[in-house]
Amino acid sequence: MKKEFRSGFVSLVGRPNAGKSTLLNYMIGQKIAITSDKPQTTRNRIVGVITNDEWQMVLLDTPGIHKPKDKLGDSMVKVALNTLNEVDVVYYLIDGSVPFGGGDAFIIQKLKEVKTPVFLLLNKIDLLDKNKLLPMIDFYRAKRDWQEIVPVSALKGENINSLLEATLGHMQKGPQYYPEDALTDQPERVLIAELVREKVIETTREEIPHSVAVIVEHMESRTDDLVYIGVSIYVERDSQKGILIGKNGDKLKVIGSRARLDIEKLLGNRVFLELWVKVKTDWRNRDSLLNELGYRQK
């Protein structure tokens, strides 16, 4: 007799740079969320989907919870917190390689207010002295009544199968929300824009990453195997525009070359990528520009 189909939603929350996007990408088996060693990389809720014959799990990767410094940051934190009561399970990721801090205390306090089962994931155990793992588990066990405590390495996939099994225990009989071949609900244009933003983050100095927004302005097939994509990169100041472009356009060429390779993997086609850098002053604090650039207030 065929088992009843089960489905459920899981929210990934935590401080910036805890490894949420890395975990999402590993679990679905493909890169749909950009990753960086710079914090606050994820800005919107990103959906990843895992499906087999018996169940479907929908993962919600959220922005890192932090003290906002502008309207964009405020929106990002609201996106993360709003998912806590909308899902079947919450994964709270802790970067096990860094000390407990005020950000962790804030998130744990918020988690005490929700009735959703919360799994504590001690991430980056591949970087830990194994003798420190049990004391760390005991430390966090005293902070809250967790449904599960699972040490994992999102980068190397350690204990991910155990995590999946534990999560399935909280999924009920339900429909298949997405087609069986779906990995995300993100439109191609959004994925492409995020890949370009990732390369900007990788190749620019510290003041650039949080000041940049990316929009795909044009996308069309020129031949059977060539896609033209025109992308605008927005920054807040003329000086940032100069940094992004670089001497004789060298830095922008590097960004474009690296992004094109990832976009071609995503689309399965050759890509002609054209980038423009534009200035929108103080866009992170202007509601109209946040809406225009896709960061709608919640």
Q: What is the full DSSP assignment across 129-185?
A: -GGGHHHHHHHHHTTS--SEEEE-BTTTTBTHHHHHHHHHTTPEE----S-TT--BS
Q: Which residues pair with 118 in a beta bridge?
A: 90
Q: According to the CATH classification, is domain 188-292 in 3.30.300.20?
A: yes
Terminal C-alpha separation, the chain: 45
Residues 63 and 80: beta-carbon distance below 8 Å:
yes
Element containing residue 279 per DSSP (H, E) = strand 270-279
Where in the chain are all domains bearing CATH 3.30.300.20? Answer: 188-292
Which pLDDT belongs to residue 75? 53
What's the mean pLDDT when you consider all of the chain?
A: 82
Q: Is pLDDT of 43 > 50?
A: no
Across 50-57, average pLDDT: 92
Across 168-188, average pLDDT: 87
Residue 19: which pLDDT band, with cuts at 50, 70 and 90?
confident
Residue 23: which pLDDT band, with cuts at 50, 70 and 90?
very high
Residue 297: which pLDDT band, with cuts at 50, 70 and 90?
very low
Which pLDDT belongs to residue 70? 47
Q: Is pLDDT of 81 > 70?
A: no
Residues 62 and 195: beta-carbon distance below 8 Å:
no
Q: Is pLDDT of 38 > 60?
A: no
User: For 100-119, how does the pLDDT look when each residue is reduced to its tens digit (9 = 90+)?
Assistant: 888 888 888 888 888 889 99
Which pLDDT belongs to residue 296? 52
Where in the chain are all domains bearing CATH 3.40.50.300? Answer: 6-173
Across 270-294, average pLDDT: 79
* Range with the poorest average pLDDT among 7-11, 22-26, 28-32, 111-115: 28-32
Q: Is pLDDT of 298 > 50?
A: no
Across 29-42, average pLDDT: 56
C-alpha to C-alpha distances, 158 to 45, 219, 259, nearest whole angstrom = 25, 39, 29
pTM of the model: 0.69
* Range with the poorest average pLDDT among 257-261, 268-272, 282-286: 282-286
6-173 CATH pick, 3.40.50.12780, 3.30.420.40, 3.40.50.720, 3.40.50.300? 3.40.50.300
DSSP structure class, residue 184: B
Across 257-262, average pLDDT: 93
Which pLDDT belongs to residue 123? 93
Residue found under tokens 């807040």: 236
113 versus 274: the higher-pLDDT residue is: 274
User: For 122-141, how does the pLDDT look when each residue is reduced to its tens digit (9 = 90+)?
Assistant: 999 998 888 889 999 999 99
168 versus 75: the higher-pLDDT residue is: 168
| For the chain, counts of helices (H) and of strands (E) | 9, 10
Q: What is the identity of the amino acid at 267?
A: L
Residue 35: which pLDDT band, with cuts at 50, 70 and 90?
low
Which pLDDT belongs to residue 50? 92
Across 207-225, average pLDDT: 81
Which pLDDT belongs to residue 136? 93
Which pLDDT belongs to residue 41? 44
Which pLDDT belongs to residue 66? 43
Which pLDDT belongs to residue 8? 92
User: For 59-73, how does the pLDDT look when each residue is reduced to its tens digit (9 = 90+)?
Assistant: 888 765 544 444 444
